[in-house]
Structures are given as C-alpha cells and as structure tokens.
Amino acid sequence: MSDARRCSRVVWWVLIALLASRQPEVLASDILAAIHKRGELLWGADAEGGAPYVYPDPQKPEQLIGFEHDLADALAAHLGVKARMVQNQWDQLIPALERGNFDIILNGLELTVEHRQRISMSQPYYVYAEQIVTRKDTTGLVRLETLKGKPVGVLSSTVAQRLLEKMGGTDLRIYPGNVESLRDLKARRIEAVLMDLPIALHYAKPDPELSFSGEPFAPGYYGIGVRQQDLQLLVALNQAFTDFARDGTFERIYRKYGLWDTRQETLKDYRPETVFERKPVSTLREWPKYLPLLLRGAAVTVELSVLAMALAVVAGLVVVLVRLYAPVPLNWLARAYVEVIRGTPLLIQLFLIYYGLPEIGIRLNPFFAGIVGLGLNYAASESENYRAGIQSIPRGQTEAAQALGMNRWQSLRHVVLPQALRVVIPPVTNDFIAMFKDSSIVSVITMVELTKVYGMLAMSTYDYIGLGLMTAAIYFALSYPASLLADRLEKSLSYDHR
C-alpha cells in the first residue's frame, strides 16, 4: 500500500509542478478545500498519558478533554469545520503526518530546528519551559547541571531528552509515557524527571510525594506541524493564532486548565523567524558515525536475548517435567502457567513485572526485568516444544527402560530426554532467533536496545531507510549464525546417519 501511495504522491507532485507555474493560488488552497469538503479538521495526537494536552475525561472516559482538545475545537471553528482527533503514538506523529493520516499535529510539538527541517511549523500557541521534578525529600537538584551523574527520566524524543543528551554525564532513562517515569521516580529507580512544565503541572504538582525542584528553564514554543506543501493551511493556522492571542481565546483555554502564566503574554508579539531548509542526512554515507551506535544497541540485544533464552530453556524444562510427571495439583499449576502466559500479551507481562511488582516490594532494574519477562514468557513455549519432543518418543522406549528395571526418573534422564533433545533443537532455535527480534519490546521499560537506538536515530536524522537497512543487516547478522549453528548441532547429534 505504501508503494502505491508513494507512486500516487509522485504523480501528485508532477501535477503540482505543472499547475503551480500557472495558477499557484488555486492549487495551494487544495488542502483547505479538502478540509472544508470533508467538514473536519483531522488532528493527530497521543491521548495515552496525554494530560493536560489531550486525554480522556476521568469523569466521562469516552470523551476527550485537554487544552489542545479545546484549542483544536477553536481552530476548527475558525476554519468553519469540526475537529476530529486521530490517535497516534507520540514519537511517530511526524511520519504519520507525512503519510497523510491527518492534517496537522497538535500535541506539544516543540518549535525546534530539527522539526522544521522535516515539516512546516505554525507560529507558537504555547510557551513551555523545562521543569525538574524530584521526590519531596530530594534536595539540590535545582539546575540542569546538578543532574550530572544521576539517573534521570525523560519522555522519548522530547526537548528534555535532547537537553540532557547535549549536556551528557547523566544516566538517561527514556520512557514511552509520562506516567511511567514518575512512577519509577517514586519507586526510587531514578532520582529526577525532566519534563515540560504543563505535564509537570498536571501530573507531578498534585502528587504529595513529588515536588518541583528549582525554577523552570529553557523556555520554548509549541507549534502546530503541517506537511511542507500545505502552505495555505499554515497561513490559515497562523492567522487563527494571531487572532486567538488578541481576542483572549488562548487565555480562556489555558486558564481553564491552570496553565496560564505571564510567559503566554509574549505570544502576541511573536514574529516569525526565517524558515529552515530541510537538510536530508544520509546515514549510509556517514555510516562510521551511526554504525557504532547501532552496534552498541545490538550488544544489549544479544546480552538480553542470550540470558533470557538461557532462563527460558531451563525454566521450560522444569515446567514440562512438572506438567507431565508431577502429581495432580502441581501438574495443573504448570499447565495453567503455560496457558496464561501464552494467552496474554508479552507487553502486559512486562508491564506487570516492571511496574506492577514494585507495588509488592519486588523492584527489578530494567535489564533484569527484561530478562525475567522475556525468559518466563519463552519458558512457556519452550515447555510446549519439550512436551512435543517427549511425546514423540515411542512408548516402547520407556517400556524397554522399565523392563531393565529403571525407575521413572532414570528412564527419563537416560532414554527419553536424550532422544527428545534432538527433536527439540529446531523449534528451540527458531524461538531463539525470534527472541532477537522480540527483545525489542523491552524498550517500553526504558531499555535501549537495537530497535530503540534505530528509532531514536531515525527520529533525529529522518533517514528511516538508511538506518533501517543497517539495523536489519545487524539483526540478520545475529540470527543467521544462530541458525547455522543449530544446523550443525542437529547434524552432530543425529544418530541415524552416522
């Protein structure tokens, strides 16, 4: 589908080029015409953990609220249409905009050089600043520099992340959402969270265990993101914001959510700066700069996969032995374990282990939680592999062992398991290779492995293809030797063709 879309986009551009030379004003208004025809302004945002920007009303969860929700309504009204929110993961908003999933991004998107190289951005609608949040009992972490050497949480792909990366020296933990970082702060896994002030006002301020540390700093602007070709829409949005700053629409909305401060007065006086040119980066041509970063991620992937698989292989054996040979209540437990693990998503299991267990006093670090989560999950499928292997051994083998006087354990240990091992090697190797890829899911508990590194680099360079090729090549270089090794192991263990 994306190919077809790309094709149609090429055709589209050709048409634009032809028409643009004659009647630019007609064509440029096309997006506005489309919005009017549709009667809806589609705005992309992430309502998951999205307060106070846009989030489900706690009183009426089927309804969205938030200052950006109100702002979207005001904007749509200004354009003479209705607003409709399109849910999209926050750090994928820009690619989704370019794919045409919605007309604008209205979701705390900072007016930064990086963003402007990729898309067009409106004049600002909110002035934010960065706020350090700590636990009540923490002192001294009042400025950016004081965070050096400390474990600090940030939201993925935010200005806060870039500020800390630029400064260096902190133990940076990158979270997929705002709630998770504050939870880990309270769980003492990290010492501080650096976040945009509106988020801090909503989530951290009311929390009695947390406090604001120092003054807000590094002010910046939120703006609306639009596709570069949609200039007419950009002009209309800028006009709307100029009006909102003058007629008090901004103030009315921001006061409603407790977000109004004196900084917002400056929105009236904003003068557009020069528009940045988009500078494409070729990461393939500059591979010496990017490959080492990807390889460092790959090392984490390998470590995690190998340790998790080791756990899975051993735990799976215990599970299958209990299931097949233990007395009644125990074997039911083993069976229930397999069914529950297989019947629930790995993502939920990881969340429960990482965020749920601290509630009962078990606090695992992200690496260990990842190993335990992946390992226990795969243990269920390994135990099923083993079960198939054990049950494929003919009954006569066990009978022959029994007839020699072996007890159940001896016949398992010396007759059944050594034969089952050979049957089981191919499916277990397949799982090991799958583990390399599945391990990318641990990025949700702040682990930075290969896929996460790819995502972060892609977000900052916008070279999805070059980085994607490099990343895919690394994954292949990891899994192919594993399957070669399995082939050899299988051959060297086979007894039929010796």
Partner 1 sequence: MIIVENLVKSYRSNCVLHGIDHTQKRGEAVVLIGPSGCGKSTFLRCLNQLEIPDAGRITIGGVTIAGGQPPRTAKEKDQQRQLRLRAGMVFQSFNLFPHLTVLDNVTCGPRIVKAMAKEDAETLARELLGKVGLENKADSYPGQLSGGQQQRVAIARALAMQPEVMLFDEPTSALDPELREEVLKVMRNLVEDGMTMIVVTHEMQFAREVADRVLFFDAGRIAEEGPPEQVFSNPQHQRTREFLNRVATR
| Positions in the binding site for partner 1 (CB under 8 A) | 394, 396-397, 399-407, 410, 414-415, 418-419, 422, 495-496, 498
- State the nearest-atom distance from the C-beta of 328 to partner 1, in Å: 14
For the CB of residue 405, give the shortest distance to partner 1 in the complex, in Å: 4
The radius of gyration of the chain's CA atoms, rounded to the nearest angstrom, is 28
126 close to 223: Cβ distance less than 8 angstroms: no
Work out how close the CB of 416 gets to partner 1 at its nearest, in angstroms, rounded to a whole number: 10
- Among residues 337 and 386, whose Cβ is nearest to partner 1? 386
Please say which residue, 212 or 325, places its beta carbon nearer to partner 1.
325
**Lookup result for tokens 């010496």:** 288
C-alpha–C-alpha distance, residues 180 and 203, integer Å: 11
Cβ distance to partner 1 smaller for residue 37 or 498: 498
Query: Would you give the distance in Å from CA 35 to the centre of its chain?
Result: 30
CA triple 316-297-278, angle to 5 deg: 140
Give the pair of three-digit tokens for residue 115.
């963003």
Distance CA 230, CA 310 (A): 53
Give 343 or 396: the residue with its C-beta nearer to partner 1: 396
**Of 418 and 468, which has the nearer Cβ to partner 1?**
418
Whichever of 140 and 394 has its CB closer to partner 1, that residue is 394
Q: How far is the CB of 394 from partner 1 (least distance, A)?
A: 8
Shortest reach from residue 488's CB to partner 1, in Å: 18
Of residues 42 and 428, the one with the C-beta less far from partner 1: 428
Give me the least distance between CB of 493 and partner 1, in Å please: 8
CA distance 332 to 38: 57
Whole-number minimum distance, CB 482 to partner 1, in Å?
24
Question: Which residue number, 60 or 498, has a Cβ lying nearer to partner 1?
Answer: 498
Q: Which amino acid is at 183?
A: R
CB of 418 to partner 1, least distance (A): 5
What's the min distance (Å) between Cβ of 407 and partner 1?
7
Residue type, 319: V
Give dist(CA 237, CA 463) in Å, integer: 28
Question: How far is Cα 468 from Cα 454, in angstroms, rounded to an integer?
Answer: 7
Which residues, including other chains, have CB under 8 Å from residue 160's CB and lie 6 or more apart?
Answer: 130, 154, 194, 195, 196
Element (H, E) at 476: helix 464-493
Q: Residue 266, Cβ neighbours under 10 Å: how many?
A: 13
Cβ–Cβ contacts within 10 Å for residue 146, how many?
Answer: 14
| Residue 312 vs 390, nearer CB to partner 1 | 390
Q: For the sheet with 225-226, list strands across it.
A: 82-87, 40-45, 104-105, 225-226, 120-121
**Cβ-contact 483, 434 below 8 angstroms:** no
